[in-house]
Amino acid sequence: DTEVTQTPKHLVMGMTNKKSLKCEQHMGHRAMYWYKQKAKKPPELMFVYSYEKLSINESVPSRFSPECPNSSLLNLHLHALQPEDSALYLCASSQGLWGKTQYFGPGTRLLVL
């Protein structure tokens, strides 16, 4: 089973709202990732967690706050977003960081009004 699940599928929020995106995998993977994808563009890496510790932060604005409560779960907390943050947010996981296949979830389509 190579499934990564994400909730919600769709999210509409105002610029003053606080919301969270959730990601879950049960493949025993120890690395988890958040990506942002705009239309007709490749995914852009935001954060990488390895063994539940933040490994990479690609200079993402502080209005995005990741959290890895355990090895199976990854959250992305959203606060005071801007309309330009509207995008498809993808979660991925892999066995480890080095040369390992990343499996993507279906994504959360976020619209910021």
Binding site for other proteins (CB under 8 A): 2, 4, 6, 31, 33, 40-43, 45, 48, 50, 55-56, 88, 90, 94, 96-107, 109
Q: C-alpha 50: how far from its chain's center?
A: 14
Here the tokens at position 2 are: 């190579």
- DSSP annotation of 102 reads -
**85 phi, psi to nearest 5 deg:** -80, -5
Tokens 């025993």 label which residue?
Answer: 28
Q: C-alpha 47: how far from its chain's center?
A: 7
The residue among 26 and 100 lying less far from other proteins, judged by its C-beta, is: 100
Residue 80 CB, shortest distance to other proteins, in Å, is 26
Residue 27 CB, shortest distance to other proteins, in Å, is 13
Nearest CA to 33 out of 1, 85, 74, 83 is that of 74
Residue 99 CB, shortest distance to other proteins, in Å, is 4
Tell me how crowded residue 14 is: count the other CB atoms within 10 A of its CB.
Answer: 10
Residue 47 CB, shortest distance to other proteins, in Å, is 11
The residue among 40 and 62 lying less far from other proteins, judged by its C-beta, is: 40
